[in-house]
Amino acid sequence: MSLKVQNNKAWFLVLPVLVLVMFSAVIPLMTVVNYAFNDTFGNNQFFWNGLGWFEEMVQSERLHAALGRQVLFTGIILLVEVPLGIFVALNMPKKGFWASLCLVLMSLPLLIPFNVVGTIWQIFCRVDIGLLGRAAAALGIDYNYTSDAFDAWVTLIIMDVWHWTSLVALLCYAGLQSIPQAYYHAARIDQSTRWNTFRYIELPKISGVLLIAILLRFIDSFMIYTEPFVVTGGGPGNATTFLSIDLVKMAIGQFDLGPAAAFSLMYFLVILLVSWVFYTVMVTRDAEQDR
Amino acid sequence: MSLELQGVSRTVNGQVTIRPTDLRFEQGTINVLLGPTASGKTSLMRLMAGLDRPTTGRILASDTDVTGQPVQKRNVAMVYQEFINYPGKTVYENIASPLRLGSKSRADIDSAVRSTAETLGLTPFLQRRPLELSGGQQQRCALARALVKEAGLILLDEPLANLDYKLREELRVEIPKIFAKSGSIFIYATTEPEEALLLGGQTVTLHEGAVSQFGQTSAVYRHPLNIHSAEVFSDPPMNFIAGNKVGGVLALGDGQAVALGNHSVSLPDGEYSVGFRAHAVSVDPWAADSVRFDCTLTGVEVTGSETFLYVRQQNHQWVGRLQGIRRPAIGERLEVWINIKNMYLFNAAGQLAAAGSDLV
Amino acid sequence: MAQITLSNLAHTYTPEGGQQSDFALKEMNHIWHDGGAYALLGPSGCGKTTLLNIISGLIKPSHGRVFFGENDVTDIPAEKRNIAQVFQFPVVYDTMTVRENLAFPLKNRGGSKVEVQARVAQVAKMIGLDGILDIKARGLGADIKQKISLGRGMVRESVNAILFDEPLTVIDPHMKWELRTQLKSLHREFGHTMIYVTHDQTEALTFAENVVMLYEGEVVQIGSPEALFESPQHTFVGHFIGSPGMNLMAAKVQGNHALVGGHAIPLQGSYGNLSGYTQIGIRPEYIEFCGAEGLPCRIDRVEDIGHRRIVRTEAAGVAIDVVMPAGAPIDPTMTYLHFPAEKISVYKDHWRIEHGWA
């Protein structure tokens, strides 16, 4: 009797997924790898280019600028959404009708497709017909996201906060719900301040889900494409051209397939690396708690 | 069916949770796993059930090797400390659920469910849902689900731990009767000596992942083979005093000497750890077999029918369990009498060297 | 420290509940002495935790007042009442060390660093935590965590009362004895008022001088362990206290004897002719076997629990338990049960009746 595998039947059930993933992910990825190391002039003729494209991309100022914008954007997003999400979760009703209502309302933004979110905000903020744009103009605020880089950034950040803070809040809320009442009672009896209760009871207990929330928000915001593409199209100028928008411009706009492919591989590796770091932190944290 | 563990051990992440263990349980027996938290009770049960795979050794069911077999293929039922039932199903459907997986006819299932419900006193609640029942009834429902399956092996992991004291007492009396009617092997984990004694059958005492003793429950209780087995089977905890044997004389503590009988004169001379249970303590001079100690009383607890005395003898803290009510003043000097027949001599390795009546 | 007075106290969770059955706690008036050790004992759902939470201030009672000493604290929240509480599952601040845990309540009250450290060291020594003060609380065992929560309560010098909510639930039997004796010696030494909630009679009886027996939201008896054992005021007390509990049997009480299944059992005094539902009760510890006189019985089973034997018998169609000392012989001549008259309690509609002398 085999000591390795308990029930081989399970593998047959996984097979269809494996085949699908082969077609949808692995084969396209290999194509990208192919483009990254070769040069082509069409007709399926390829010339070996080694690490040439990679060198070019690593030294490209255009890419550095896009990466800078991307890091800044993701940084701001995390700095706003994580504390805000925790704050919202702490102040949500714990049970009853209002709790259910809050949960439903908060999940709504998460259910809207990305391009629809983009379109909503694109129209909402337009100075000529948008509710927000017109209102700002009426109040005498000089606001125009199509021409002012700062305004474009503010618009994108507010949009992302509106779209995704719920995710952080809902995850934290679930974490908070699992804290036994006795902890709060004990804290009251110890005359703990609200901040200390958060710092020593709530934060340690939600740190697990919080890490997952941060990871998800990092990946998503680092790869953001649809919403800024719909709202600003990367403009004005290149002000909101984030990594993925730049990548698409390079690949589809200019047909620089080689550099774009090399670029996407590096992009992919960065995300993989960060995710791995998060994963390691979470696993060692769990092991410490099980001890 | 019979269940046999041959040299079974388990190591998780380099830490040994179960040391090599050999055990054999026969059909229709009640077996208690007695040990404190984290002594390996649950780990051992998971190995028996097939939820975990042993690192070394084999597990035999009815003398066929089932070591690699997953739990679904084994004929096993389990009851946990938490009351685990399907909350959305009625008690009837809960009990019937293990049978629905097989090829039994509706009528067979119905009669099996009803008769099991009857033995566990659940008949009036068959149409209710588990969460509408009291804790005791919920655990009865979980027990019924395990019993109705007629599994060869039924594992119970501290099933009464979450119940009120009085309900626990009630079920402790009922459970052995219910078990006796079934032909399964019962493995019952508990931390409480009294529960083991009430269940009877056989007992496995566990200490840090190793079996310290396996035998008839009353035999393990009366004749613990080592210090671990004796300690885990004593509630209140076992009392100890240092003993020094020279020739035919055993000196206890500050010089109370006992003349040893023929059986134990031949023991090697030297230091022993002498243990006795709380009910061996008396404040009335007993028969000729008792030894006197001068102690200081540090605490008294009266339960109405019994008195617990806490006394200090040199650097030892003892607990005595006396029938009736006594209220000596705390801090007072107290003469305490211990019957030699209730003493156990353990050698330096913690093994039983001589017990009770062998001493005089 | 202070005496605790419960004045016309009652509580219902349903806001407009006028029905008696809606009350989780029925009206009660009690005075609990300063420095006393009290146990609130009863099965789950009897209201003992509600009562504890009212005293600690986590619940505001719907009726009546609570006083600590002379002060009406009914409207004062938990954090202002200066009480300490130990919960069923150990509550410690995981990310803090043992020392920081103990210091936390003092720091929150603005104690100076030197004072706090001195007091923490003192309390740690009292409860035997002084060796592990700088270890993180997270990885410690349940018994040590319970000691930490106790320590966090004791660290404040002027606590009015220390409340325990089934604190030994998750503790191994061996550790229970140690923790309980430690609690008792702390009580003797420092004289805090202690209130201990439990469903476990052994814990309640051994811990407390005064046991408050609750049943369906009502205090059915307050008394010493002896009083609860010897003269239970309600059949429920008889059943709940003792292991096994009191034997209760329906009986017809006429003057100075009771009729059980046609057999006359002599009583100590005269009760007249009692109407209503009458029962007699006797503790298994007091029943004697004999060869001829008394209630004929059949021995069903003998259970040996080490320090004593429980004999399960049937007599007059009722199951009757008898407790005998360890090693007592059981023989076939034991065919009758004798109930010593002075040990029999008589109940009318579940409440105990005292006899007259006629």
Domains observed in chain C:
4-235 (3.40.50.300), 245-353 (no CATH)
The domain of B74 spans 3-232
B175 and B71 both lie in a single domain: yes
CA nearest to A8 within chain B = B70
pLDDT of C337 > 90? The answer is: yes
Please count the structural domains in chain B. 2
Residue boundaries of the structural domains of chain A: 1-50, 60-290
Q: How far is B51 from chain C (nearest CA, A)?
A: 25
- Separation between Cα atoms, residue C168 and residue C181, nearest integer Å: 12
Residue A143: phi, psi to the nearest 5?
-125, 125
pLDDT of C285 > 70? The answer is: yes
Of B232, B266, B297, the position where a domain reaches its end is B232
Q: What is the largest CA-CA distance in chain C?
A: 77
Q: Over range C291-305, report the average pLDDT.
A: 88
pLDDT for A91-149, tens place per residue?
998 888 899 999 999 999 999 888 898 899 888 888 888 888 888 888 888 888 888 88
B215 and B298 both lie in a single domain: no
The band of C357, judged by pLDDT with boundaries at 50, 70 and 90, is low
CA nearest to A194 within chain C = C108
For chain A, where are the E strands, in sequence order? Answer: 38-40, 46-48
pLDDT < 50 stretches in chain B: none
What pLDDT sits at residue A5? 45
From first CA to last CA, the distance across chain C in angstroms is 49
Q: How far is A201 from chain C (nearest CA, A)?
A: 6
Residue C257: phi, psi to the nearest 5?
-145, 160
B122 and B265 both lie in a single domain: no
pLDDT for C40-74, tens place per residue?
999 988 889 899 999 999 889 999 999 998 889 99
What pLDDT sits at residue C19? 65
The band of C273, judged by pLDDT with boundaries at 50, 70 and 90, is confident
What pLDDT sits at residue A2? 35
Mean pLDDT of chain C: 89
B228 and B245 both lie in a single domain: no
Kindly list the residues from chain C whose CB atom is less than 8 angstroms away from the CB atom of residue B301.
184, 205-207
Domain A60-290 homologous superfamily, CATH? MetI-like (1.10.3720.10)
Across the interface, whether the CB atoms of A189 and C83 are under 8 A apart is answered yes
B299 and B225 both lie in a single domain: no
- Separation between Cα atoms, residue C154 and residue C151, nearest integer Å: 5
B30 and B131 both lie in a single domain: yes
Kindly list the residues from chain B whose CB atom is less than 8 angstroms away from the CB atom of residue A3.
53, 67-68
What pLDDT sits at residue B248? 84
Across the interface, whether the CB atoms of B198 and C305 are under 8 A apart is answered yes
B85: CATH: 3.40.50.300
B173 and B266 both lie in a single domain: no
B62 and B203 both lie in a single domain: yes
In order of B30, B91, B111, B173, C304, the CA distances from B181 in angstroms are: 11, 22, 17, 14, 20
pLDDT of A267 > 90? The answer is: no
B197 and B281 both lie in a single domain: no
Number of Cβ pairs closer than 8 Å across A and C? 54
B173 and B251 both lie in a single domain: no
Q: How many CB atoms lie within 10 A of CB A122?
A: 20
Higher pLDDT, C334 or B18: B18
B186 and B227 both lie in a single domain: yes
Q: Over range C21-39, report the average pLDDT.
A: 89
pLDDT of C165 > 80? The answer is: yes
B348: CATH: 2.40.50.140
What pLDDT sits at residue C16? 63
B279 and B167 both lie in a single domain: no
Cα-Cα-Cα-Cα torsion A270, A24, A249, A78, nearest 10 degrees, comes to -40
**Tell me, what amino acid is at B26?**
E
What pLDDT sits at residue A290? 56
DSSP code per residue over C296-330:
EEEEEEEEE-SSEEEEEEEETTEEEEEEEETT---
- Whether cis (ω within 30° of 0) applies to the bond prior to A16 is no
pLDDT of C182 > 60? The answer is: yes
Chains with 3 or more CB pairs closer than 8 angstroms to C?
A, B
Chains with 3 or more CB pairs closer than 8 angstroms to B?
A, C
Q: Which of C91, C138, C149 is opposite residue A289, by nearest beta carbon?
A: C138
Collapsed DSSP state (helix, strand, coil) of residue A67: helix
Chains with 3 or more CB pairs closer than 8 angstroms to A?
B, C
What pLDDT sits at residue B77? 92
Of B182, B214, B232, the position where a domain reaches its end is B232
Q: How far is A99 from chain B (nearest CA, A)?
A: 23
